[in-house]
Chain A
Amino acid sequence: MVFLKLAITNLRRHGTRSLLTALGIATSVAVLFSILSFNKGFSKGLARELQRTGIHFMVVPSGCPHEVASLVLHGSVIPKFLNTSVMEKIVSMKDVDFATPILVTQLPNAEKARVDLVYGMEMSRLSAVKPYWEVDGKIPSAVNELMAGSEIASHNNIRKGDLLTYSGVSFKVSGILKKTGSQDDAFIYMPVEALQAILKKPSGATAIGVKVKTPETLAKTTDELAEIVPGIQVVTMNQVMSSISNLAASGKVLSLSIAIITILVSAVGVMNSMLMAVFERTQEIGMMRAIGASRADIFRIILKEAAILTLFGGLSGIAFAVAGSDIIEKFVRKAMPYIPSGSMVDFDPVLAAASLVFVSAVGIISGLYPSWKAAKISPIEAIKG
């Protein structure tokens, strides 16, 4: 108890220095904890998205493997088209539940002088493909109706009942897709026939989404399909998710390295701060030896100070990270190419504890040298009477 009191009062004697050192620790823990939380949220979000997608695999023109991931998760426009006639072959397979064409393109919006991302799909399959979507208004039920994602709608002030014109064709906005938090929010959704007509490709599709009757037959079905239909490529949602994970992995490694470096820098701060404290307290340490402290006691007192400093900094860092998680999430959403829908940064006590344990370990390790220095102080050198 008295050791603890001693450590705390010693830290408070150099309040500003201790506070700055703790702030360094706090910042690095906040960065580490945020990154760990985000990475975990990202993986969880991906898994969640995978779980609730109504499609098991995508059929795309062969030769576009890299675009597939971004296509499925809506980002890029593939310049090659499939012919929807392959759908017949797909649907005729016994394990296939349904197949639905997807057509993604960019369309100029002449009046508004902008280019919109447009997604054509079978509206009747919408609830099967995107079961978690909620629409304010109606899902388009006629070829001259469309639906806008929440982001594109709010940016361009698109409201239910408005008329939008693409390539001379007018569409009525039947509904607005409620915010999903993913890139889905940036698209215009229209019946695939309407988009095919605009592009003058009556049977064109960027991809065909396929659902099998039972997931167990997935591997068999995709193998068979590759044999029956030439010139296509099959990409399962699992593959898509794992290629997104791979894309994200390098980002994770980089961000974690930055966090680790920050922590090491703040550990040097702890070491410096403690060395200064030891140096300033040479006489006091000598006196404590004279009144019965062993070298190990001195070692422990200084180490305890380092531990308290890092633990205090670490706890503050977690608090900062939690308090700032909304800002961090907004920032990361802007910076990352793909983010699954839903909140990313959830407070996870296990990650908080792991971050604290890690930084405490680093802090204690950086306290070892100053503690050893303190323990080595010769009492007779320190107290010259």
Chain B
Amino acid sequence: MIELKGIEKTYLRGSEEVHALKGIDMKISKGEFISIVGPSGSGKTSLLHVLGCLDRPSKGSLLIDGVAVEKMREDELVRIRRKKIGFVFQQFYLMPGLTVFDNIALPLVFSRTAIDKEKIIGAIELLGLKGRIEHYPKQLSGGEMQRVAIARALVNGPEIILADEPTGNLDSENSENIFELLKSLHKNSLTVIMVTHNNDLAARADRTLLLKDGRFPG
């Protein structure tokens, strides 16, 4: 359960203040699949960063499982990111020097968790990446890279997946696959929050939120 109360985010660009989020109130239940749409610059990424404890809100309160995180120390935020949150990006952001296996295992390294080889290989096969385990990112297609990124987001067993335009760099067939993959995760009781520009996909979520100029209008 995630609750946002009056979340605001103000960036400084030089001496100019940019109000990216202007008072967000929302509740997200456990296991919900939410899509967020909105024009470019409306604050979608900023919202995901706040939700993912990558960034602190300038104002307002964020409760994850009833705990206020906005005043937590950096190391506590790191622990929440490791334990509860998985990020998926539009540009995949795989480490080019690491194999598929090592890319997926990387969050375990950061969270100081023993690497369960069998489990990772199982997950890789489940995601249709069998035979790709020892490959490097540049040997993969876009759809495959995004599946690796999703496997990486899942490896620490998070409760929330935050996906920022995960299909933005993919063709329609791969977009469909990735979307179905995210949906199947949510069926396994994961909370999935997905930012997208694809209205068709957005409409197939449990709930679609429209962000405009840092607010949810209406």
Contacts and interface: CB of A to CB of B under 8 A. Distances in A.
Contacts of A10: 97
Given A297-B110, A385-B90, A290 B75 contact: no
Given A292-B78, A380-B54, A385-B165, A5 B110 contact: no
B147 interface: no
Nearest to A8: B97
B106 A291 contact: yes
Interface in A1-39: 2-3, 5-6, 9-10, 12-13
A292 B54 CA distance: 10
Contact of A12 (B45, B97, B102, B153): B97
Q: How large is the interface on A (under 10, 10 to 19, 20 to 34, 35 or more residues)?
A: 20 to 34
Interface stretch (A167-175, A196-204, A240-248, A281-289): A281-289
Contact of B110 (A9, A284, A293, A384): A293
Nearest to A2: B109
B55 to A, nearest CB: 5
B215 to A, nearest CB: 19
Nearest to B163: A385
Q: How large is the interface on B (under 10, 10 to 19, 20 to 34, 35 or more residues)?
A: 35 or more
A126 interface: no
Interface string A351-385: 00000000000000000000000000001100111
Interface string B79-117: 001100011011101011110001001110111000000
Given A10-B97, A291-B107, 10 more contacts: A2-B98, A2-B106, A5-B98, A283-B91, A288-B110, A290-B81, A292-B110, A294-B110, A385-B44, A385-B90
28 contacts: A2-B106, A2-B109, A5-B98, A9-B95, A10-B97, A12-B97, A13-B97, A283-B91, A287-B89, A288-B110, A290-B54, A290-B87, A290-B89, A291-B87, A291-B107, A292-B78, A292-B81, A292-B82, A292-B107, A292-B156, A293-B110, A294-B75, A294-B110, A295-B74, A380-B46, A384-B45, A385-B89, A385-B164
